[in-house]
Structure 1
Amino acid sequence: MKEYRPSEIEKKWQNIWEEKKVFETSEDMEKPKFYALVEFPYPSGQGLHVGHARPYTALDIVSRKRRFQGYNVLFPMGWDAFGLPTENFAIKHKIHPREVTKKNVAMFKRQLKSIGFSFDWSREINTTDPNYYKWTQWIFIKMFEKGLAYKREMPINWCPSCKIGLANEEVVGGCCERCGEEVVRKTKNQWMLKITEYADRLIDDLENVDYLESIKNQQINWIGRSEGMEVSFKISGKDDVLKVFTTRPDTLYGATYMVIAPEHPLIKKYAEEIKNIDEIKEYQEYASKKSDFERTELIKEKTGVEIKGLKAINPVNQKEIPIWVSDYVLMSYGTGAIMAVPAHDNRDWEFAKKFNLPIVEVVKGGNVDKEAYTDTESGTLINSELINGLEVKEAIEKISNWLEAKGLGVRKTNYKLRDWIFSRQRYWGEPIPLVHCDECGWVPVPEEELPVLLPEVENYEPTDTGESPLANITDWVETTCPKCGRKARRETDTMPQWAGSSWYYLRYTDPHNDRELASKEKLDYWLPVDWYNGGMEHTTLHLLYSRFWHKFLYDIGIVSCKEPYKKRTAHGMILGENNEKMSKSRGNVVNPDDIVNEYGADTLRTYEMFIGDFEKSVPWSENGVKGCRRFLERVWRLQDMVVDGDEYSDELETSIHKTIKKVSEDYESLKFNTAIAALMTLLNEFNDIGQITKEDLRIFLILLNPVAPHITEELWEIVNLGGMLHEQTWPEYDEDKIQEEVIELPVQVNGKVRGKIIVNIDDPQEVVREKAMKNESIMRHIEGKDIIKEIFVAGKIYNIVVK
C-alpha cells in the first residue's frame, strides 16, 4: 500500500471530473430535477476563507447524493462582483475596478476548485458581465414601465472628505467608517423601487415555503405589518393636525406629550412662531449627522427639545399637551410623529423620565413611578372615561369606533417596510438604463440598445458635487431621446450591489441565452429552487429583495411560480480558535489554501462538516482538523483489509443497513456531523473484525463520497470495484435488516427499573424471566416477597409486581 498523498489524489480527480464534465447539468428535462443554490460570493481581495467552505460543502454533499439517486442536479456558482469595496480598492491603488474584479475572481475560482466542489462551471455567471447586467437593466425598465421605479428626494449620509454617499452601515458614531470625517445628511434625488406594493404578499406567501421559522420571522418583522388607527391631534390655535399611527388607541388617555421627527415640515412652517427656533435648528443639525440605524437604536441616551410656542390637543380629553422634537422618530416611518404614552411604552417612559414629563397610567399594571418599564399588553382600562373597566381588546374596538364616528381617526394597516432606495452615486455598478428629456421626461433605453455599458474612464473617483463619476463623462452623458429625438442626458446614478444578486438564480438556468433573461421552458423546469442555503445575515434584505423581484417577474409572466425558493436554510459562522469572529484585524483568519496544502481538501471538507451543529456558530480547532486527517488515513488503509465477496459480511450486514439509513437521512437534514460519526463507528467495526468484503467497502465508499470525494474515488479505483465511483447508485437499506436482534431490556419491580438484561428481541416471557432471575440487582428487590403479577411486553418492558 502506498502512502496517502492528498495533493496527488485530489488534483488527479479534479482533472478527471473536469475532462469528463461529470458535474455539468443535463438538458434532459424528463429526469426529476434538484436545484441546489448557495449564495454566490463577493470576490474580495482577501480571498476565500474557511467560513465560505462550510455552506458550499453542505449543499455539495446533498447535490452529490442526489446525483447518485438519479436526479438531474443544477448546482451552480458565480460572482456578485459589483460594489463599493472593489471601487474603493481601485481608487486607492489606481487600478480599474474591472481588473481588480478579474484578479479576485480568478483567485476565488482556483480556491473553490481546489476543494473539489461539484459546481457546474459551464454555467458560471458574473454580475459585472454586460451579457448578465443587460437583463438586470431590462428588469429595471420593466419595473419603470409598471410604475414600480420612481424618483424622489431622499436624505443620504454624505462624507465631505470622500465625497460620496454612504450606506447606514458605513457610518459609525456619526463618522465615515473609511476616513473618520464627520458625516452630514444631504438630500438627493434618488431612484426608488416600490417594494411596499408587495408587502402583504411578501408576508402571506411565507405560508407556502419551507423556511426556518427564524428566517420567516425576520422577513415578517422587517416588513412590520400592523393593524391600528391613524389618529388626528389638532394643533392648538391652528388649522393643522398632527396625524399619528397607533396599534393601541385604547391608551390615548395616557398620551401626555407628542414627538415629531427633526425633519418634520411643521417646524419649517411655523418657524416664526416657535420661540426657541435656534435651539431646534441646532438639534436638527445634531440629528442630521446620525444614520437612521443609530437614531432608532433602543439602547441609547434619549435626546430632544420641546417646541415652545406649539401645543397639540389630545382628541379624547381635549387637554393641551407639549410637542417635542427627537431623533428617535423618523420622518420616513409612519407619519413622522408619535403620541407618547410613557406609562405603557418603554422608549416613551425613558424619555419622560429624563425630561420630567407626566406619566399617566391607563392600563392597570403600567408604569408611573417605577424604576423599570413593564409591558402591558393586556389588562383593564383605568383613567379613561369612555372605556374604563374594559379589557384591552374590547377597549381598542370601542375607542376605534368612537374615533371613526367623530372623524378623529381611521382604521389603517401600517408597515415598517420602506420603498427601496435604488440609486448609488458610484461608478462600479450597473448603469440605470434611462435618459432624461426636457420634453418627454424619463424615457427607457430601447431594449435593442441594451446593455447600457459602463464607459471606459481614466478617473472614476467621486465628484465634488456628490454626483456619480459618470456625470463627468460628457460624451457618454449627452445623448438623444429615444422617444422624440431631441437632446437628452443619461442617468448617471448606478444600481446597488443588491440588483444583480436579486435574480441570479434565474440566469443559472439558461446562462448563455442572448435573446431573453432565460427560456420559459428552462425556467418552468428548474424553478422554484429546491434548496437555498446561506448565511443568516442575508435572510432579511437580500431574501426580501429577491422575493420581491421574483414576484414582479411572476406578475409579468416571466416565471410561473410565486416564490423563488422552496426551501431556505442557514448555517452558523466558523469562529477563530479564540472563539471570536474571524477577521484580519484579530489575526485569527484561517485560509483554506493552508489546510488543503497541509492536510488535503478531503480533510478540510470532513472537518467543516464534523465540526458541530451546522446551524450553530463553532470555533475552529487545529486539533479537530488533525483528527479528521487521522480518520481519512484509517479509511485509506481499508484497501489492505479487502477480501473477495459480492455480499455483506455476516457480522456487518445489520450495521451497514443501519448506517445507510442514518447517513441518508442525516445528509438531507443538515446533520452532517452525526452522519460522519456513524461512518466512523462503522469503520471501527471494520477494524474490529479485521477484514471486509468488496461489497462492504463499496457501500462505505459511496456513503462517504459526498463528504470526501477524492479519497473515495481513488480507493474505488485501487480496489477495482468497477467503473468510477461517481457513476454509481445510492444504496438503499432494508427495513427488516435494521431491526435490533439483541436489545437491553429494562426490568421493573413495582414500576421502578431495578436492572437491565440482554435478550433477543423475540425471546418469550419464560426466557426473559429466567434471565431476570439471574440478575443480582433485580433479585435484591424481589427476594423474600410474593410475586403477584408479571407484565411483559416483548422487546419493550418486563414489570414484576411483588407484595
Structure 2
Amino acid sequence: MNRKLNYNPSEIEPKLEEYWQKNKVYKVIEDKTRKKYYCLDFFPYPSGSSLSVGHCRNYIPTDVLSRFRKMKGYNVLHPMGWDAFGLPAENYAIKNKKHPQDTTVENVANFKKQLSILGLSFDWEREINSTDPSYYRWTQWFFILLFKKGLAYQKVAEQWWCPSCKTVLANEQVEEGKCWRCGSIVTRKGLKQWFFRITSYADRLLNDLDKIDWPEKIKLMQRNWIGRKEGINIEYQIEGIDEKITCFTTRPDTNFGATFIVIAPENPLVKKITKSVSKKSVEKYIEETKRKSEIDRIAEGHKKTGVFTGSYAINNLNNKKLPIWISDFVLMSVGTGAVVGVPGHDLRDFEFAITFKLPIVRVVVGADADNLEITKKEQVQEEEGKIINSEFLNGLDIHTATKKMMDYLEKKGWGKRTVNYKMRDWLISRQRYWGAPIPIIHCEKCGVVPVSEESLPVLLPEVDNFEPTGTGESPLSKNKDFVNTTCPKCGGKAKRETDTQDGFACSSWYFLRYADPQNDKKPFEKNKIDYWCPVDLYVGGAEHAVMHLLYARFFTKVMYDEGVVSFEEPFIKLMNQGMILASDGRKMSKSFGNVITPNSVVNKYGADALRLYEMFIGPFEQEVSWDDSGIKGTRKFLDKVWQFVTEKNKGNKEDLQADVKIEKALHKTIKKIEADFYEFKFNTVVSTLMEFMNLATYLKNSLSEKMHNDISEKLVTILAPITPYIAEELWKQISNDKKSIHEHSWPIYNENLVKDDIVEIPVQINGKIRDKLFVSTTITEEELKKIILESKKIKIMLNNKKIQRFIYVKDRLVNIVVV
C-alpha cells in the first residue's frame, strides 16, 4: 500500500479528472429497476468570458447532493448544457465586436473548462446547447404545436422597446423603467408581435402552485404576477355624451362611497372625454407616462400623479357626479383600464384623493367603531367591518354586502360579474438575430402558415451584419435568400417570418431534452421522459420567478394536454441559492475589479478546498461575503484529513476506550451528515466533519491499527461526494478495491452506536426545574425514582410535602407533582 505523505491537489486533481472521463465513471444509463433522482441546475447563459465563485454556489452543492444520492443507490441524472441564444449572448458579442456564434463557442469552451476543474459529476455525453440546430429544431416544433392549438398568435401592440438592445421586451424584462439586461431606459413602440397565450393557463398555473415544494416567496411572486381577482364590471354613464365607462372592482359594497373615477392614460376614452381646457395637460401627462414601466407605475409607495379630464360620470346608485381623472397607476392591460375611486376604503384611492383634494366618504365602520371623518391612512378600512351610509346595505358585513351589491347591479343591468388577471400573454418575438427563427411563413393567398415539420429546423442563416436595425425589423429581414421562400400550402411565393424567438422559449423545455439528448426523430422518447421526469430538485436564482419558472410550467402543461408528457409540473422541489458577494460586501463585477474566479482559487488551494468552502460559507439560501480566511481554513482541514489517513499511528499503546469513543463518534457523524444532506444544511455537514476530525486527530495515537484503518476508509467514503478528488486519491492508497470510490455505497450507521449511554434528565417540581441528573439510558423508572427521592437537594425542595404524582418521560424529564 503506497501512501504519499504530502497532499498536492495540483498534482492529483488533473490526473483524476482524466481518469474519471476516460473510464466514464459518471455515465448515466437508464435502469428502470432503480429509483431515479433528477437533480438540475438552472441552464447557464454563456454570455461572459468567465464564471465567478458565485456561480459555483449552486453547481457545487447540487453536485454534492447528486453524488450522495448515487451512493444511496439512486440512478442519478445531473446534466449540464448552455442557454446560449438570446439578448445576453448577442449583447456580449456586440460589445466585443465579434460574431455571437464565435463568442458562444469561446465562452462555452471556457465555462466547460472551468466546470471541469471543480470535480463536477456531469455526464458530458448529455450536454446540450440551445444554439445547436439539433436542439432548436425542437424549440421550433413546440412553437408550431402552440400555433396549431391557437396558443401562438400575432397582433399589433404597444410594446416596451429598448433603444440600446433595439428590440422589444416583455413586461417581466422591464425593471424600474429600464431594460433587464443592459439597463437602458425603455420606451413604448407599436409593432406586430408574436405572443404565446399563457393567460389561457392562468388558473392552472395559479392552483397548481399548491402541488409543488417551492419556496413560498417564489409561489407568492407567481400568484401576484398572475393576479387573479373575482369582481364585477360596473358601467357609469358619461355626462353629456353617449358613452359609458366600465370599471372593474372587487369591492362593489363600497360604491356608495365612490367620489371619482380614474382611467389609464392609454384608455381610448381619453380622446373622447378630455375637455379642451384640459387637453394640453392631458397630452403632456400621457407623454410622461410612456417613459414608465407598468411595474414602476403600480409599485407600492409610487407617488400618485394625475390630471383631470374635465368630464364626469354618473353613479347609478345615488346619481352623484364622479370627476374622471387620468393616472398612471391604472393600467390598460389590467381589468378595463378604469377604476372607481373609493378613498375611504382603499389606500391607493385615499392617497390619490389626498393628493388632489377629492372628497372622502366613509361607508364602512371597522371593529374599532371609528365613524369619524377619514383624514389619516390608518383610518382606511379595507379588510373588515359593517356597512353604513349605503341605503339597502346598511348593517351588513362587507362580505355579505359585496354579494348583495353584485346581485343588485346585475339585476339592474348596471354590472356583470367577471374574473380578471394581472398576467398578460407572453411576448415571444424579438427583432434580433441571435435566436431560434420563428417557423412561420407569410403567404398573400394562404395567410399565416407554419413551416412543415419535415422542413425543420429553419436554420439561422450566417450573416456578417447581425446587429439590430433599430427600425423594428429583425436583421434577418435584410437577408433576401432567407426571407423569400415558397408557401407550404399552395407552393406560391411567400416570405419567412424574420423575428426570432425569445431565449426563454429555448429554456422552457430544455430539462426534458436531457432525458434523450441525441434523439433526431422527436424531442424525446416518452418512455425516457416518464422514467426521468419531472425534475426532483431544481436549483437556481430567485430572479427568474416570473419569467423562466413560469414559462417552463406553462410549456409543461401544454405538453401534458397534448399527451407528450405525463406530468403537469416540471420541477417537484425548487431551491434558491444565496448570492456570494465579494469580500468588500459588493456584488462581484468587473467594473469593481472584485471578481474571484474558480480558476484562481483552484490554482492556489485546490478544487476540493473550494468545494468545501462553498458549502461551509453559510446557509445555502443566505447571502454571504467571500472571505479568504475561510478558504484557507478548508485547505487546512484537507491537510489534516490527508495526514490522518496516510500517517501511521505514533503511539505505542492501544486504548480500547479510544476505539469505542471514535467509533461512536463516526456513526453519529454519518447519521448527522446524512440528515443534513436531505435538509440542504451543507454548512453544518462541514462543521460536523470538522468536529469529527478534531476528535479523530486527538485520539489517533491511541487507536488500534484496525480501528484507524476502518475509520480512514469510512471517512474517505463520507468525503467522496463532498471532496471527490482527495477521496479518490486516498481510496486508491488505502484500499485494495480497484473500483472508483464514486462507485461505492454510502456507509450505513449502526443505530446502537448512535444512541447515548448516558443522558441528562431535568428534574421538575410542579413544572419548575430544580435539579439535573446524569443517568444511564437503561435505568428503570423505579431506580430513577429512588435516586431522586434520596437526593439531599430534592429532599430539601420537597420539604415533606405530599407527592401526588411522579411523572417520568423516558430519557427526557421527571416532573414531581406535590401539594
Q: 1:698 to 1:340 in 2, by over 3 A?
A: same
Q: Pick the aligned partner of 1:505 from 500, 503, 511.
A: 511
Do the aligned partners of residues 468 and 760 (structure 1) sit closer, same or farther apart at CA in structure 2, a change above 3 Å counting?
Answer: same
- Distance verdict in 2 for CA 1:175–1:23, change over 3 Å: closer
Instruction: Choose from 653, 670, 690 the match for 1:660.
Output: 670
Contact 2:45 2:88 in 1 (8 A): no
Once superposed, what is the RMSD of the aligned Cα atoms?
2.6
Once the two structures are superposed, what CA deviation does each residue of 1:317-359 show, in whole Å capped at 9, x if it has no partner?
2211111111111111111111111122222211111111111
Is 2:647 the counterpart of 1:633?
no
Q: Residue 32 of structure 1: which of 30, 35, 42 is its match?
A: 35
CA distance in 1, matches of 2:430, 2:795: 80
Q: Secondary structure at the match of 2:502?
A: coil
**Paired amino acid for 2:717:** I
**1:763 equivalenced with 2:763 (yes/no):** no
The 3-state SS of whatever aligns with 1:86 is: helix
1:214 matched to 2:217? The reply is yes
Is the CA contact (8 Å cut-off) linking 1:791 and 1:798 kept in structure 2? yes
1:710 equivalenced with 2:710 (yes/no): no
User: What's 1:314 paired with?
Assistant: 315
Partner of 2:796: 782
Distance 1:525 1:283 in 2: 57
Instruction: Name the SS for the 1:98 alignment partner.
Output: helix
Q: Which residue of 2 aligns with 1:457?
A: 463
Report how far residue 274 of structure 1 moved.
Answer: 4.7
Answer yes or no: is the 8 Å Cα contact 2:364–2:381 preserved in 1: no
- Segment drifting more, 83-92 vs 280-289: 83-92
Shift of 1:514: 0.6
Task: Please show how residues 466-485 of structure 1 align to structure 2 within 5 Å.
Answer: 466-485=472-491
What pairs up with 1:273-288 in 2 under 5 angstroms? 274-288=276-290
1:529-678 correspondence to structure 2 within 5 Å: 529-640=535-646, 649-678=659-688
Deviation, structure 1 residue 422: 0.8
- Quote the Cα distance in structure 2 between the aligned partners of 1:183 and 1:525: 45
Provide the rounded CA distance (Å) in 2 between the counterparts of 1:255 and 1:744. Answer: 67
**Which stretch has the larger CA shift, 778-787 or 720-729?**
778-787
CA distance in 2, matches of 1:676, 1:503: 35
The yes-or-no answer on 1:109 pairing with 2:112 is yes
Taking the TM superposition and a 5 Å limit, the aligned residue runs for 1:371-382 are 374-382=380-388
Displacement after TM superposition at 1:127 (Å): 0.7
Look up the SS of the partner of 1:37 in the other structure: strand
SS in 1 for 2:408: helix
Equivalent position amino acid for 1:796 in 2: R
Q: Which residue of 2 aligns with 1:699?
A: 714
Distance 2:83 2:165 in 1: 24
Deviations 1:256-314 (A, max 9, x none): 1111111111123456x554223212221111122222222222222211111x21111
Structure 2 counterparts to residues 297-446 of structure 1, below 5 A? 297-308=299-310, 310-365=311-366, 368-370=374-376, 374-446=380-452
Shift of 1:474: 1.7
* Amino acid aligned to 1:785: N
Q: Secondary structure at the match of 1:547?
A: helix
1:76 Cα deviation (Å)?
Answer: 0.3
Seen in structure 2, the aligned counterparts of structure 1 residues 87 and 441 have a Cα distance that, compared at 3 Å, is: same
The structural deviation recorded for 1:85 is 2.7
Cα contact 1:432–1:494 (8 A) shared by 2: yes
Equivalent residue, structure 2, for 1:41: 44
1:206 Cα offset (Å): 2.4
Structure 2 residue identity aligned to 1:779: K
Instruction: Judge conservation of contact 1:90–1:97 (CA < 8 Å) in 2.
Output: yes
Q: Which amino acid aligns with 1:655?
A: A
Give CA deviations for 1:547-580 in whole Å, capped at 9, x if unaligned: 1001111111111112112222222222222333
Post-superposition offset of 1:784: 9.7
Please tell me whether the aligned partners of residues 553 and 570 of structure 2 are also in contact (alpha carbons under 8 angstroms): yes
- The amino acid that maps onto 1:218 is M
Q: Distance in 2 between matches of 1:224 and 1:184?
A: 25
Q: 1:746 aligns with which of 755, 762, 771?
A: 762
Distance, in Å, in 2 between the alignment partners of 1:603 and 1:477 is: 54
Deviation at 1:747, TM superposition (A): 2.9
Instruction: Give the Cα separation in 1 of the matches to 2:762 and 2:175.
Output: 62
Contact 1:757–1:771 under 8 Å retained in 2: no
CA distance 1:768–1:159, change in 2 (3 Å): closer
The equivalent of 1:720 in structure 2 is 735
- When residues 769 and 298 of structure 1 are mapped into structure 2, their CA distance, relative to the original with a 3 A threshold, is closer
**Aligned counterpart in structure 2 of residue 735 of structure 1, from 748, 751, 755:** 751
Q: Which amino acid aligns with 2:689?
A: L
Residue number in structure 2 paired with 1:19: 22
CA distance in 2, matches of 1:182, 1:590: 30
Aligned to 1:563, what secondary structure does the other structure show? coil
Q: How far apart are the structure 1 equivalents of 2:61 and 2:357? A: 56
Residues 158/610 of structure 1: CA separation in 2 closer, same or farther (3 Å cut):
same
Q: Contact (CA 8 Å) 2:88, 2:181: kept in 1 or not?
A: no
Distance 2:163 2:505 in 1: 27
SS of residue matched to 1:651: helix
Q: TM-score, normalised by structure 2?
A: 0.92
- Partner amino acid for 1:278? K
Q: How many residues align?
A: 798
Change in Cα spacing, 1:13 to 1:302, as seen in structure 2 (3 Å) is: same
Q: Distance in 1 between matches of 2:321 and 2:672?
A: 70
SS at match of 2:246: strand
Paired amino acid for 1:760: S
> Distance in 2 between the 1:296 and 1:279 partners?
22
Query: Retained in 2: the 8 A contact 1:349–1:373?
Result: no
Using the alignment, how far apart are the partners of 1:801 and 1:279 within structure 2?
80
2:137 to 134, 138, 144: 134
Deviations 1:450-471 (A, max 9, x none): 1111111111122242211111
Partner of 1:493: 499
Asked if structure 2 preserves the Cα contact closer than 8 Å seen for 1:694 and 1:721, the reply is: no
Whether the 8 Å CA contact 2:172–2:547 is kept in 1: the answer is: no
Contact 1:745–1:796, Cα closer than 8 Å, also in 2 = yes
Identical counterparts, % of pairs: 50
Shift in Å at residue 619 of structure 1? 2.0
Moved more, 375-384 or 653-662: 653-662
Shifted more, 192-201 versus 760-769: the winner is 760-769
CA 1:605–1:351: 2 relative to 1, 3 Å: same
Instruction: Give distance in 2, aligned partners of 1:442 and 1:187.
Output: 20
Amino acid at match of 2:661: E
Task: For 1:57-96, list aligned pairs within 5 A.
Answer: 57-96=60-99
Distance in 2, Cα, partners of 1:373 & 1:136: 54
Q: Secondary structure at the match of 2:660?
A: coil
Partner secondary structure for residue 300 of structure 1: coil
CA contact (8 A) 1:164 1:425 kept: yes
* Residues 487-496 or 685-694, more deviating: 685-694
Whether the 8 Å contact between 1:435 and 1:489 is mirrored in structure 2 is yes
Q: Deviations over 1:464-519 (max 9, x none)?
A: 42211111112211111111112111111111111111000010001111100001
**Counterparts of 1:9 and 1:161 in 2: how far apart (Å)?**
48
For structure 1, which segment, 58-67 or 577-586, has the greater mean C-alpha deviation from structure 2 after superposition?
Answer: 577-586
**Cα deviation per residue 1:23-67 (whole Å; 9 max; x = unaligned)?**
111132322211111102111224211222111122211211121
Cα distance in 2 for residues equivalent to 1:204 and 1:75: 29
Give, in whole Å, the separation in 2 of the partners of 1:566 and 1:180: 34
> 2-side partners of 1:278 and 1:453: how far apart?
51
Maintained 8 Å contact 1:642/1:694:
no
Partner Cα separation in structure 2 for residue 564 and residue 199 of structure 1? 16
